[in-house]
Amino acid sequence: MSALRLLAISGSSRAGSWNRKLVEVAAKAAEARGAQVEPIDLRALELPLYDADLEKASGVPEGARRLRDALRGADGVLLSAPEYNGFPTPLLINSFDWLSRLQPEGDAPSGLAASSGKPLGLFSASPGPLGALRSLNFTRQYLGMTIAMLPVPQQFALSKAAEAFDEAGALKDARQQAAVDAVVASLVRVAAALKAS
């Protein structure tokens, strides 16, 4: 079987984002298990705030097609998102809302067909004490229930993120690294089984 292809997504595109650092740690753990990991920057998709009038006037923006095509080519997804007031970020929700508006085009599936059944490993990070755990459960519900992805049961919320990484971007605490590894191991197991089936 060829190497698993995974997408790595951060729900924050902020320079220095803790969530991007955390998903990079997860990506390294997946690469250590033989996967190929491709990062996708949601901000680079340049998706405007969803607006039905805009959609009616000019259709779904190209960025949503880039997300669809990235998902279509992936065997699974690693995703880490911060919380804003206990909820997943507008960047994350808006990107997947636009994806959900894409209808099938030629050989390309609808946005939801591209995301449907895609195994998903979930993470969150915050400088605060709860590690954005409250939003992580909403992210699980949103991406699992309505975007039809397949979140693995394991997840990891990194608290006190501002103190968690060394200068090379690695997690200082071996228990936190083990928690990341557990999510990644589960994702790789499920993605490999689905790819083989």
Ligand X SMILES: Cc1cc2nc3c(=O)[nH]c(=O)nc-3n(C[C@H](O)[C@H](O)[C@H](O)COP(=O)(O)O)c2cc1C
- Which residues would be at the binding site for ligand X (CB under 6 A)? 12, 14, 17-19, 82-86, 125-128, 130, 132
Shortest separation between residue 14's beta carbon and ligand X, angstroms: 4
Q: Are 151 and 158 in contact (CB under 8 A)?
A: no
Backbone dihedral angles phi then psi of residue 76, each to the nearest 5 degrees: -175, 170
Q: By C-beta, is 2 or 85 nearer to ligand X?
A: 85
Rounded to the nearest whole angstrom, what is the least distance from the CB of residue 36 to ligand X in the complex?
A: 24
Which residue, 170 or 193, has its beta carbon nearer to ligand X? 170
Q: Which residue has the tokens 């804003």?
A: 84
Nearest 5 degrees, angle CA 181-CA 188-CA 142? 90
Question: Nearer Cβ to ligand X, position 3 or 44?
Answer: 44
Residue pair 80/179 in contact by the 8 Å Cβ criterion: no
CA-wise closest residue to 152 among 192, 125, 114? 192
Closer to ligand X by Cβ: residue 24 or 75: 24
- CB of residue 178 vs ligand X: minimum separation in angstroms? 22
- DSSP 8-state code for residue 144: I
Shortest separation between residue 79's beta carbon and ligand X, angstroms:
12
**Helices 62-72 + 90-101 axis angle, to 10:** 90
Tell me how far, at minimum, the Cβ of 49 lies from ligand X, in Å: 15
Instruction: Specify the residue, 4 or 133, whose C-beta has the smaller distance to ligand X.
Output: 133
At its nearest, how many Å lie between ligand X and the CB of residue 17? 3
* Residue number with CB closer to ligand X (26 or 60): 26
Q: 72: Cβ–Cβ under 8 A, 6 or more apart, which residues?
A: 108, 109, 114
Helices (H) and strands (E) in the chain, counts: 7, 7
